[in-house]
Amino acid sequence: MAEQARKLRLCSYDRAEVPADAYIVTDSGGEMYFCNARCLSIWAVDFATKPNRPPEQKSLVLHVKTPTGVHRQLPNADELANWALATLSEEVDEAESAPSTQAGDYTSPAPSEGSSAASTFERRFMLVAWISAIRCL
């Protein structure tokens, strides 16, 4: 018996192999795979802000499947970029608020003096700036 060939799925942003629980964006031309919300966000912002995009690309209806299996339909690339950045922001917030489960990690989840609270603010500010820039398009 011949073994069925497995389709290799590569991330459309960083070209790494995509795990089974990944983001999938589908349009009339096919499917695009993304490893995580970061890859999806960077690709979506780049695509939405690309100069000289053909008019037919500006009105593409896009379907997104999240790693949790939720399906979402978005009317265009600008909305995909907005949604992807909001999703990335939520994932960053969840990761920062989740207590560490690594053995031997005794760090406190509360920010201490000189901690990364400023960098958290900077990341949040940059996400808001990107979302604002996209909305101005």
Q: For 60-97, what is each residue's pLDDT tens digit?
A: 899 999 999 999 999 998 899 889 988 888 877 777 67
The reported pLDDT for the residue numbered 122 is 62
Q: What is the CA radius of gyration of the chain?
A: 18
Which residues, 6 or more positions from 50, have their beta carbon under 8 angstroms from its beta carbon? none
The reported pLDDT for the residue numbered 90 is 82
With the CA atoms of 118, 83, 51 and 28 taken in that order, what torsion angle do they form, in degrees rounded to the nearest 10? 150
| pLDDT at residue 6 greater than cutoff 50 | yes
- Range 17-33 average pLDDT: 91
| pLDDT at residue 120 greater than cutoff 60 | no
pLDDT in tens, 32-50: 999 998 889 989 888 888 8
Q: Is residue 37 a contact partner of residue 88, using CB atoms and an 8 Å limit?
A: yes
Give the 3-state secondary structure of residue 31: strand
